[in-house]
Amino acid sequence: MAAEPSPEGGPAHAYATVRAWIVEGRMRPGEHLVEQRIAEQLGLSRTPVREAVRMLAAEGLVVSERHRGAVVRTLDRDAVVDLYELRSRLEAYAAELAAQRRTEADIVELDGGIAEFAAALDAPDEDPLARTRRISAANRRVHDAVVRAGGHERLQHMLARAVDAPLVFDAFRHFDEAQLRRSHQFHTMIRNAIAAGEASRAAGLMREHILQGRDQVLLGLRTEGEG
């Protein structure tokens, strides 16, 4: 039975919920977004759902296809390579700037994200999805702290479009423990380079860190193609 339409939350609630479905893989690439069905699931009218779909399209997570309407975007191997190449160069530059411009408060925030990541790794007997959510959120905090420490507002906006949240989440979901620990180690090494003012080293470490994530995503695409 459908929930009664509710004005509470509106487009923001619809956007946050559907975005989570896409990021976490509950809505798969190529899947059609049926506004009426989503509205019923969320207890909303179609108007806020339609607005949420427009917001998701502006973010690049949804595309409009002829005769199908809005669908979850699909990325092929070349698109993934292009996205990660752009992201690695932008975040490497952000890390370089962070090493030159960081404040004590920036390092404190970065340390907080790294501690949060470590805590997520060591959480005992946690549901795999919940664990991946915690790891992904902590990872975002670390990377956001680096970008903010760089103090380059335009770069922040560019990275907001270059970082593909579903790809990042999917990579963490398929990382084994050794790969997760390696990500934590990279965060720590990047932090230390930034704190020491070693701009070139911070940039190089960040680029390698991002490209290792790319390799895992590409491996997943290849495995799916062979399945």
- State the 10-residue block means of pLDDT for the chain, 227 residues long: 47 95 93 94 95 93 87 92 95 98 98 97 86 95 98 93 89 91 97 98 98 88 64
SS3 63: strand
The span from the CA of 70 to the CA of 60, in Å, is 11
The span from the CA of 74 to the CA of 90, in Å, is 23
Per-residue pLDDT, 65? 84
Per-residue pLDDT, 227? 52
Q: Which pTM was predicted?
A: 0.87
Whether the Cβ atoms of residue 57 and residue 168 lie closer than 8 Å to each other: no
Report residue 114: phi and psi, to 5°. Answer: -65, -40
Per-residue pLDDT, 220? 77
Per-residue pLDDT, 9? 59
47's tokens: 């108007």
